[in-house]
Amino acid sequence: MLPPLNPLHVFDVAARLLSFTRAAAELRVTQPAISRQINTLESFLGVRLFERDRQGLRLTSEGEQFQRQIAPAFAIIANATAGLMTTGRAEPLKIRVYTTFAAKWLIQRLPSFYVAYPHIKLNISNVVAPIDFEKDKVDLAIQFGAGHWPNVECELLFKDLIQPMCSPKLLKSHRMVEPDDLRRVQLLHSHYRRADWPDWLMAVNRPDLLTDAGISFPSSVLTYHAAVEGVGVAMGQLYLLRNEINDGSLIPLFNAPFERQLAHYVAWPKHRPLGRKARSFMHWLRLQTGEFLKK
């Protein structure tokens, strides 16, 4: 039969220190609490474990024998716990992020995360396909969509706000005042955001301007880079391109932003509780998006 474990732990500490006062300080409890735990253990065992003499507290012969036998077990538990916690601290937090979100929003903010959480390592990967937490070894994911994925919990970061934009280089040679002016330039398309132009043209009641012509790029990052270089007009994500808009390398056109029924979300597995590192990253992410949306 096992004795109660908390009194057993208290005995191990008190026997090692031969002081209830020092044992109370190490365990961060009061000295009377130590005495009560020792009394509980002695009552369970039916023997006295400590006695006092002129030199202070000492173990009885039964106490010495008992302490010799249980001390190695507590040492094993302490070492195993320390090893497990060290492994946990060394294991990085795995985050799946779209390339465009990482390049245009996340990376520039990561220094502040490492200032706030210097001991948390991040492992950031990027895949376009929707996350499958059952197959993918990922703790958190930044997902783009309507916010409904099977077996996934998610939290809104910010909506998808789109608008045509181009560089000052293009405006030097082409008039861009009304949507009809789009007929005279290259429309730039991102492979994974093929619905951007149709959605915006429908929103401004100009589906007649939709054409298969233009230039398609395999990623939004390349599409936006082509727009900055004056190749044509891209359908830009206003939130993710805020830096380019602020520094003047991209100029939104026609004063006609359109908010789609899609957004960026942070997602995590529904049936897996968030660990400490994931909760820390979520807290930081909420602060960052809150400050970002206020501007």
pLDDT digits (tens, 9 = 90+) for 243-255: 999 999 999 999 9
5-89, what's its fold? Arc Repressor Mutant, subunit A (1.10.10)
Residue 83 pLDDT level (bands cut at 50, 70, 90): low
**What does the alpha-carbon distance between residue 48 and residue 38 come to, in Å, rounded to a whole number?**
9
CATH, domain range 160-260:
3.40.190.10
Name the segment(s) of the chain with CATH classification 1.10.10.10.
5-89
**What does the alpha-carbon distance between residue 214 and residue 90 come to, in Å, rounded to a whole number?**
48
**What does the alpha-carbon distance between residue 106 and residue 158 come to, in Å, rounded to a whole number?**
13
User: Considering Cα of 197, then 198, then 201, then 207, what sign does the dihedral take?
Assistant: positive
Query: Does this model's pTM top 0.75?
Result: no
Instruction: Identify the residue with better confidence: 78 or 225.
Output: 225
Share of the chain above pLDDT 70, in %: 97
Which of 112, 108, 109, 106 is CA-nearest to residue 125?
106
Lowest pLDDT segment from 70-84, 134-148, 167-181, 221-235 = 70-84
Amino acid identity, position 193: R
- Residue 88, pLDDT above cutoff 60: no
What's 93-158+263-294's CATH class? alpha beta
Residue 85 pLDDT level (bands cut at 50, 70, 90): low
User: 3-class secondary structure for the chain?
Assistant: CCCCHHHHHHHHHHHHHCCHHHHHHHHCCCHHHHHHHHHHHHHHHCCCCEEEECCEEEECHHHHHHHHHHHHHHHHHHHHHHHHHHHHHHCCEEEECCHHHHHHHHHHHHHHHHHHCCCCCEEEECCCCCCCCCCCCCCEEEEEECCCCCCEEEEEEEEEEEEEEECHHHHHHCCCCCHHHHHHCCEEEEHHHCCHHHHHHHHCCCHHHCCCCCEEECCHHHHHHHHHCCCCEEEEECCCCHHHHHCCCCEECCCCCEEEEEEEEEEEECCCCCCHHHHHHHHHHHHHHHHHHHC
Residue 90 pLDDT level (bands cut at 50, 70, 90): low
Instruction: Look at residue 254 in the predicted model and tell me its pLDDT.
Output: 97
Which of 46, 73, 48, 72 is CA-nearest to residue 59?
48
- Read off the tokens for 72: 């190695």
Name the segment(s) of the chain with CATH classification 3.40.190.10.
93-158+263-294, 160-260
